[in-house]
Every structure is written in C-alpha cells, then in structure tokens.
Amino acid sequence: MTIRLIVSESKRVTVFAMVGLAATAVNFLILVLLVERFDIYPLLSYLLAYVVAFSVSYLGHYYLTFAANEEHMVAIRRFLLVSMFASALNFIVFAVSFEYLHLSYLIAFVITIFTVPPFTYLLSRNLVFN
C-alpha cells in the first residue's frame, strides 16, 4: 500500500467513525427517550431507535464516507442488506447482554456499539459503496 492509499483509507475510516457516532448518538438518544420518558420496553425501543439511526447512517455514508456515485436505489438496497446483517447481530448482542446477562440496557448498548462496526465498515466499503 502506498502512503497515498494509507492516508486515503485513514480519512475514510475517520469519516466512517464520525458518521457512525452521529447515527449511534441518534440511536442512543431515541432509545433513552423511549425507555425513560415513554416507558417503552427496551428491546422495542432499541428497534425503533435503530430504524431512525439507519437513515442517518445511510445518508452520511453515501455522501460523506464513500462519496458514492451510484443511484440511491442501487446503493440503498446493498446498504439495507449489510444493515440487516448488522442489525441482526446488534440485536442479538443487545438482547443477550440485556436478557441473559442481566446487564442494564445502557451497558448492553455500549457493548453492542463496539462489537459490530468493524465488520460493517468492511462490508460497506467492499460490497455497498465500492
């Protein structure tokens, strides 16, 4: 790998992380709002929050991280497949942490957000926005 490629990839990973953090912040704020303010069960709250965070993530990665040139209908279908895989994995990690390990929903959330993103980046870079 040349220095230019390393720098380019480092910038892309940084932007990916920033978009991911923005989507995660949206996910977190909605999760806490639904659980604490509206007393909605944490697993359902997590799913609802994740749907909103999906939009933030897709648009951020399309325009900022990967500067995609493909039509939205092509890119979003691929991103949806990657996101469905990531969502399932996120949900499993969250559910196991919350239901079976009896951790608080906040700790379960933190575990979840550090488990899946590296896989999501590689799949997004290689399959979605290539």
The string of pLDDT tens digits covering residues 94-122 is 999 999 999 999 999 999 888 888 888 99
What pLDDT does residue 1 have? 63
| pLDDT tens track for 20-29 | 999 989 999 9
Question: Letter for the amino acid at 79?
Answer: F
pTM of the model: 0.75
Rounded Cα distance between 32 and 56, Å, is 18
- CA dist., res. 38 & res. 40, Å (int): 6
| Whole-number percent of the chain with pLDDT over 70 | 99
Whether 53 shows a pLDDT value over 90: the answer reads yes
Nearest to 129 by CA among 77, 51, 56: 77
